[in-house]
Structure formats: structure tokens, C-alpha cells
Structure 1
Amino acid sequence: MGLEAVVGDIKEKGKREVAAVQAETRAEVTRILTEAQERAAGIKQQASEEVERDVQRIINQEVSAANLSVKREMLNAEKDTLGRVHDTVVTRIAGMPATFHEMALRALLPEAAAAVGGGVVYCNARDIPTVKKILAESKELAAFSIGEPISVEGGVVIESADGRMKIDYSYRTFLETVWESGLKDASDILFP
């Protein structure tokens, strides 16, 4: 075999080895690229899922905050409405005819006399003539005197003779008692 044949064999063998290395390199490059693409797709999917979870969490928080805000506004509106109803009731009771106030005072004063015995009766300026008349007519109320007018819609405040006890029989006090006990019922009726 001549030198040319040996050189040809070596070249041929080198070409085959180069082709094999190139094929092996291409296969390795393809495998690496495929793995990289799979990892990138996995990372992209994971990031997409995290973004979706974050978006859903933010939406849930915003919806909860909006619901809370709406509920707070509703409660404030209900409270405002109930406050206006309360004020209207107080105003209407204060505006009742004189016969109503006299009838109420005739019921309240003997009750106060039973609880206190004697002392000073305080009422609004409108009711002073009526209270004076009731005190003058009743022997059981003889131990009471009338004090300076106070700012109440109606009813009386009684102070014992020694000043240690006060009984509030004003309309507002009665209304507050009824209001507190019936507030839930009133709210249920007004805001079903």
C-alpha cells in the first residue's frame, strides 16, 4: 500500500470521525436546546400560575374591600336614617298638644312622689304652669316645689330635698330606654 493510500485512509477515517463528532455534537446541542426549552416552558408555566394566583388574590382582596366599604356605607346610611327617625320622634312628642303633656305630668309626678317623697321638680318652661297647677291640686305632692326650667322636650326631673337623688322622668329618657330595647326591631322593620 502506498503512501497515498494510507493518507487517503487516514483522511477518510478523519472525515468519518469528524462526521461522527459533528453528529454527536448536533445531537448534544439538540438535547441541550430541548432541555432548555422544556425548562423555559416549565418556568414560564410556573410564572404564569404565580401571576394568576397573585391576580386572583388581588381581585379577592379588592372585592372584599369593596364589599366592606359598601357594608360600611349601608350601616352609616342606616344609622343616619335611624338618627333622623329618633330626632323626628323627639320633635313630634315635644310638639304634642298641651293636654297630652298635662296627662303625662299627672302620671309622672305621683310616681316621682312615691320614689322621692319630696324635693324639687324641674321641667321645661312650657310645662311650668301645668306643674304648678298639679302640685297645688295634690296633697301628696305638697312636699315638692318647682325649680328653674330645664332643657327637656317634656316630662320632669325630680331632685330629692337633700339633693342626693335625682330621678329623670323626661321624655327623652323614656324614649332612650324604649329606643335601645327596640332598636334591633326597628332596624329589622326599616331595613329588611
Structure 2
Amino acid sequence: MGLEAVVNEIREKGRREVEAIRAEGRADVEEILKDAQARAAGIKSSANEEAERTAAYLINQEASAANLVVKRQVLNAQKTLLDQVYSASLAAVGDLPAEFHEKALTELLKRAAKEIKKGVVHVNERDTAVVEKILGQTKSLSGYSVGKPAAIPGGIIVESIDGALQIDYSYRTFLDEIWESGLKDASEILFT
């Protein structure tokens, strides 16, 4: 064999080895690319799932916040309406005929006399003359006198002579008691 044949054989062997190395390199590159694409797809899928979870969470939070705002507005509107009903009720009782007030004041004074024998009666300005009349006509109320007018819509406030005891039989007090006990029923009637 000649030198040229040996050189050609070495060249041929080198070329085959280069081709084998290139083929092996291409296979490695394809394997690496496949792994990278699989990892990228996994990362993309995880990112999409995380984005969907985050979006769902944010939507739920916003919906909850909006529901709270609406509920607060509804409750405020209901409270405003109940306050108007309360005020209207108190005004309606104050607007009842004089005969009603005279009868009510007589009964309230008799009731107060069972607890306070002598005292000062405070009423609104409208009822001062009526109470003076009742006190003058009713012997069991002789220990009472009319005091300064009170800022009440009706009824009486009786104070003992020494000021140690006070009974509030004003219409507002009675309405407050009824209101407290009947508020749930009133709310159900108005808002259902």
C-alpha cells in the first residue's frame, strides 16, 4: 500500500468519524431540544394554570367586595327607612286628638303616683294646661306640681321632690320599648 492509499484511508476514516460525531451531535441536539420543548410546555402550562387561579381569586375577591358594598347600601337604606317610620310614628302619636292625650296623661299620672307619692311633673308645652287641669281635679295627685316644660313629644316625666328618683313615661320611651321588641317584625314586614 502506498502512502496515498494510507492517507486516503485515514481521511475516509476521519470523515466517517466526523459524520458519526455530527450524527451523534444532531441526535443530542434533537434530544436536548425535545427536553427543552417539553420543559417549556410544562412551564407554560403551569404559568397558565397559575394565571387562571390568580384571575379566579381576583374575580372572587372583587365580587365579594361588590356584594359587601351592595349589602351595606341596602342596610343603610333600610335603616334610613326604619328611622323615617320611627319618626313618623312618634309624630303621629303626638298629632292624636286632645282627648286622647288627656286620657293618656291621666292614666300615666295615676301610674306614676303608685311609685312616687309627691313630685314634679314635666310635660311638653302643649300638654301643660291639660296636666294642670288633671292635677287640680284628681285628689290622689295632690302631691304633684307642674314643672318646666320638657322636650318630649308627649307623655310625662315625673321627678321626686328631692330629685332622687325620676320616672320617664314619655311617648318616646314607650315607642322605644315597642320599637325594640317589634323591630324584627317591622323589618320583615317592610323588607320581605
TM-score band (shorter)? over 0.9
Instruction: Give TM-score, length-normalised by structure 2.
Output: 0.98
Q: Which residue matches 1:29?
A: 29
Q: Which residue of 2 aligns with 1:146?
A: 146
> Are positions 1:5 and 2:5 aligned together?
yes
Distance 1:117 1:148 in 2: 19
Q: Distance in 2 between matches of 1:148 and 1:72?
A: 43
Aligned equivalents of 1:151 and 1:4: distance in 2? 130
Distance 1:117 1:56 in 2: 72
Alpha-carbon distance in 1 for matches of 2:106, 2:117:
16
Report the CA distance between 1:107 and its aligned residue.
0.9
Q: Percent identity?
A: 55
Q: Aligned equivalents of 2:69 and 2:26: distance in 1?
A: 63
**Residue 3 of structure 1: how far off its partner (Å):** 1.2
Give the structure 1 partner of residue 53 of structure 2: 53
Q: What are structure 1's unaligned runs of at least 5 residues?
A: none
Specify the SS of the correspondent of 1:116. Answer: coil
Counterpart of 2:9 in 1: which secondary structure?
helix
Q: How far off is 1:119 after superposition?
A: 0.5
The Cα of 1:120 is off from its aligned counterpart by 0.3
Shift of 1:161: 1.2
CA–CA separation in structure 2 for the residues paired with 1:27 and 1:185 = 82
Which residue in 2 is equivalent to 1:173? 173
SS of match in other structure, 1:158: strand
CA distances 1:113-141 after superposition (whole Å, capped 9, x unpaired): 00111100000111111101111111110
Post-superposition offset of 1:167:
0.2
Equivalence map 1:65-104=2 (5 Å) = 65-104=65-104
Q: Distance in 2 between matches of 1:83 and 1:105?
A: 26
Q: What are the ranges of 5 or more consecutive residues in structure 2 without an aligned counterpart?
A: none
Cα shift at 1:2:
1.2
Aligned counterparts of 2:121 and 2:191: Cα–Cα separation in 1: 40
Match of 2:41 in 1: 41
RMSD between aligned residues: 0.7
Runs of 4+ in 1 over 4 A off after TM superposition: none
Question: What is the SS of the residue equivalent to 1:174?
Answer: helix
Aligned-pair distance for 1:178?
0.5
Provide the rounded CA distance (Å) in 1 between the counterparts of 2:79 and 2:115: 36
What is the alpha-carbon distance in structure 1 between the residues aligned to residue 134 and residue 67 of structure 2? 57
Find the counterpart in structure 2 of residue 64 from structure 1.
64
Shift of 1:150: 1.1
